[in-house]
A and B are shown apart, each in its own frame.
Chain A
């Protein structure tokens, strides 16, 4: 069965339907260069409403396994691949990727010249696209789809013994961020972005984590005053969208990148000690480096290749953020130590208090 991928610029790719065969969807078309970790990627809330193109041609090789999802469902809107592996033989696989997508009602398309598609995205930037069962009229294609702000319930994991208590503001958190904290024996309470400063302070956190999430950071303007208040009282760690919000709250600007960073091979240099990590990333917006000069923040890390802002710090305060994903899943664990750094900052703050 044929499937049509129609791009905002009018380009049409014809391929074979897979996943939810009949499903039709509109979304933002992006690409990721990760060669492993499709399951983590597809279940990452940051990919909500996005049509993900995998540049690696073979996707689904090892099936779907338990305990790998980054949220409780497939978050991506649709999937574009060159080849969808039909059968998975990995011992941990419980279902094939194709069957999982069917079950999750997520449409997909295979047999696409994904390299050509990637080059189009690289050139024109991230754009709207639609996945349909029949050719669509170009003018009607890719109807505007506004990303909505996501609200999620808390997943509190409290216990008596633990000392540290992080309140995680959930803009679309990946499971492995929560797990990375829990592995360090930290109590985590997840709250929605509708929370007020008072709501959060009532929980007596030792630190605040501003999570990753999908879409344009300026859509969260309501929460910026909350961050401004929080940073007067608590250690803060921002990841991805959380990093962008920390910047915005302090008066910096963000901008939409041409085609973003999506992959698990991005080198990031720590400007303070010269260390370079290979990091996992997926973001379409970035913090404007020039705008930081007007804020109390300091740039601590840059992407080696395009020199975009990858890390921020509030000098004199236990506050920092990174654009990349130290929790990995998928991707390298090079930056996992940042969670320890966060804990150190929380402990240092406690001692002061």
Chain B
């Protein structure tokens, strides 16, 4: 069918702030879909409250609403815009749930708005457990015995009937939140109670556990005519039992025979046809490793995280095609954008192996429960492409930026003292480190049969891990000859890994490699295994004869930000994409190197060439040696890119923008302090320590409280405010151990208003787009603070001082491009606390407000333009009349056991924006999708921890704002109506329990006094 002409205006609902289970993949899907619809001539209206996204850029949609994702807010927009249709399948579970609610509300019928892509009936059939079960029975598709329960008693009775273990899956929750596997009544009670409270419909599915089966996913496309294809099958390394978002995944499937594959393919198509999906759909299945039995696990009638992975793994742009199907086009009418010569109606053939490894935040949340189960915990993921399982897996491991030692040696330090027996016991529990523990177990002599018994991971995969460890042993014992090096490279060993095992040099290895006729080459991702000619600028490295990537010339390399983690989120992908646009506009070829499959930057249509590669120095230099670019830009890829600067400079690569010297002036503690002293800039006094005694001496000299942290930090990792000697000692022991000889920083702690600026500079002059004031005082990480723009409590003099200091620093370090500077304003003095010599987290927020693409302007400066050329007048950008608030979003509910009290260590996973004519209005709008509170509709008591209740200031302020304040007692009845919960400490069991209870009851939770005192002032609430 040709595209529809009876609709013109289409609303796309975004997925909102980034939370665990719903991340950057929906920015990728949403922006692709918007562009795809506009390409067909439709008017696209986008609603999303997340400013840190490409999809909310003005050139992506005809109109962008940065408004809360709530039914009243969307209704207002629908009434105003009167669209013909809504496309709800691209905004994750949030978009789908909102579509259901809007439909129930009746507004869609009233305004005659059509749901595109999938009908309400389909959504219900796929998402409602009972309806899904009925449909599967009707289609004769096997599903594990299950029952929907609404109370504990029925759940336990059913579990006895089908026998433990059972899986508990709450209905309508993100990423399977609140679910788990229970082996007995006690576990059942805990998990089912939690699941019931977290489900908006107090509904859980209790299901026979099929843990241990092979978990297989199919990404299906289906059009209006009913033609359907499988984009790719994917096989989880971790068997059923670990959420697919937390599993290592390979594409295509590896251990299924054609009969098994086709049986599962048939099942997927049968289901998708019965559901009458028009667009993309994800089907999850379980294959018994010992029989022909299989089960259908789940169907997601929308674009998902897996579809982003499948798109990047195959080159087939699922979201783009899904949007075209939604407006009536059939698969054989849509050109395959990769080949440009074939159609979207075909199944991609891969001639490589793709590995995905999830990235977790446990490096920051060391106390959190690291056990993986049916509830997703990963914040992001990396993907790698290779010719063998080993190569793609090791490339993915090199991309993780997790733990340098484990990534290079594969066997983590902590396993070295463990016995084989202990390790075999340990690997029974899936955790974020299990892959490395498997390597360790093999290294200690475990057979793959033993490991298979402990983990149920398929022996095929385990044999590949064994091949890697055997290669390590050969490299360490055998003669280092050309053949061996080639074999090691085929398994994905890079120079750094080989040199860690065997004393040799890059030069030596290169000489050995040159003796062979196969080398590291780049191959194209083309959807068709070279069957048709393609010109996709999408490449990966592997070992082979023919290099397919011809150097572009006149090019600039942009280093991406790698996997999404706390402290380095989608904001950096946003900046990377804008940097690329500016490079292209300036007439150069832009080349991206990145390894995150969820993002817009790794869409091959964004840059002139995409290298899907690890961001380690070996991989980056391989690309640079081939492409010979004019230079490399590191300012937009967060700390990942900045950390490569030194090594790149050593290799003689030209860094465009602020020089290595400038970067070191701001990142090296001593150089930075010298700079500040030299320029007479106030800053908290501080010193460095490498021993406990030194640290104690410094703390006493400065006076408590002091701020302590490791010297090179990301997102405030490992930072803390300590108030006395006991706290200091408690911090020092693990911190010194973790710092590996690098000094710890100890600073005077100054209480005041924290604020920050992102500056633009051409190396001579400085432009300040705006000052952001933080609601919370110093001591709380800037990424976790509520930020207000323009500042609400700063005097004109303070603002002048801030701009003057920012200008001084910019000029002194010859900043070229962007830089982020953080301040504390206290007692009419402005102190500098930190400088980040790169684009920061706040770039998209400020870009959206000022309607200036700051990252593009910065790139132009990097490429040689002056502020004057760009029409930027040095000094502070005039402030707007409107007020804008950026509020953090936390994923505490997904990470049981993780610390919750706000501190110098960043904890939030995302952010939203609120705007209004007054601070009150802006704050009100910003708090919906962040703290999930409506400040105009506050009912019930305020429940606060004992610690906060003992603080007279807090209690009295809240009372004077009109709240009934109640101190939490562990044995108390949970109040019927709670306005919100406050617990600013997370040390005692009571405090932990209060927060956990609040999270599972879905009550708004605040974990800093400053936040509560700042928001709930009489003038800010109704």
Contacts and interface: CB of A to CB of B under 8 A. Distances in A.
Interface of A: 13-14, 31, 33-37, 39-40, 55-58, 61-62, 65, 68, 82-83, 85, 87-92, 111, 113-116, 118-119, 122, 259, 263-267, 269, 274-276, 278, 304-305, 328-334
A315 B225 CA distance: 26
B458 interface: yes
Given A14-B517, A55-B349, A265-B348, A62 B252 contact: no
Given A116-B545, A275-B227, A62 B257 contact: yes
Contacts of A275: 225-227
A183 B562 CA distance: 52
Nearest to B290: A91
Nearest to B466: A87
Contacts of B343: 267, 304-305
B731 to A, nearest CB: 48
B342 A58 contact: no
A111 B388 CA distance: 11
Contacts of B998: none
Contact of B518 (A61, A113, A269, A330): A113
A161 B965 CA distance: 85
CB-CB nearest 4 A-B residue pairs? A37-B258, A265-B347, A33-B349, A55-B529
Given A62-B255, A263-B349, A55 B530 contact: yes
10 contacts: A13-B545, A68-B259, A88-B460, A115-B530, A116-B544, A119-B530, A267-B331, A275-B225, A276-B345, A278-B230
A37 B260 CA distance: 10
Contact of A56 (B269, B349, B458): B349
B256 interface: yes
Interface stretch (B130-138, B350-358, B402-410, B854-862): B350-358
B346 interface: yes
B546 interface: yes
Contacts of B517: 14
A265 B349 contact: yes
A89 B460 contact: yes
A248 B725 CA distance: 95
Of A82, A91, A266, chain B has the most CB atoms within 10 Å of the CB of A82
B351 A114 contact: yes
Contacts of A62: 255-257, 460
Contact of A305 (B266, B530, B532): B532
A305 B346 contact: yes
Contacts of A259: 531
B463 interface: yes
Contact of B254 (A31, A33, A61, A65): A61
Nearest to A56: B351
A304 B346 contact: yes
Interface of B: 225-227, 229-230, 252-259, 261-262, 265-266, 269, 289-291, 331-332, 341-343, 345-353, 387-389, 458-460, 463, 517-518, 523, 528-533, 544-546
A265 B523 CA distance: 21
A88 B341 CA distance: 38
Contacts of B265: 332-333
A122 B341 CA distance: 15
A305 B229 contact: no
Contacts of B332: 267, 269, 276, 304
Nearest to B529: A55
B255 A33 contact: no
Given A91-B289, A332-B262, A61 B349 contact: no
Contacts of B350: 35, 56
A192 to B, nearest CB: 29
B531 A83 contact: no
B849 to A, nearest CB: 47
A177 B150 CA distance: 51
Contacts of B353: 57-58
Given A36-B257, A89-B255, A278-B346, 20 more contacts: A33-B349, A36-B261, A37-B257, A39-B257, A58-B388, A65-B257, A83-B387, A83-B388, A87-B463, A89-B460, A90-B460, A115-B529, A118-B529, A265-B349, A267-B229, A267-B343, A274-B225, A275-B226, A305-B341, A332-B266
B531 A263 contact: yes
Contacts of A265: 346-349
B528 A266 contact: no
Nearest to B389: A58
A134 B940 CA distance: 86
Contacts of A35: 252-253, 349-350
Nearest to A88: B460
Contact of A122 (B230, B518, B530): B530
Q: Please indicate which of the listed interface residues B349, B350, B352 has the most CB atoms of chain A within 10 Å of its own CB.
A: B349
A119 B348 CA distance: 17
Contacts of B227: 275-276
A114 to B, nearest CB: 7
Contacts of A36: 252-253, 256-258, 261-262
Contact of B531 (A58, A61, A114, A118): A118
Contact of A329 (B255, B258, B289, B348): B258
Contacts of B261: 36-37
Most buried by B among A40, A68, A89, A334: A89
A278 B388 contact: no
Nearest to B251: A35
A45 B332 CA distance: 32
Nearest to B448: A89
Contacts of A37: 257-258, 261
B531 A55 contact: yes
A80 to B, nearest CB: 13
Contact of A113 (B226, B257, B458, B546): B546
Given A33-B529, A83-B387, A113 B349 contact: no
B523 A122 contact: no
B230, B261, B459, B530, most chain A CB atoms within 10 A:
B530
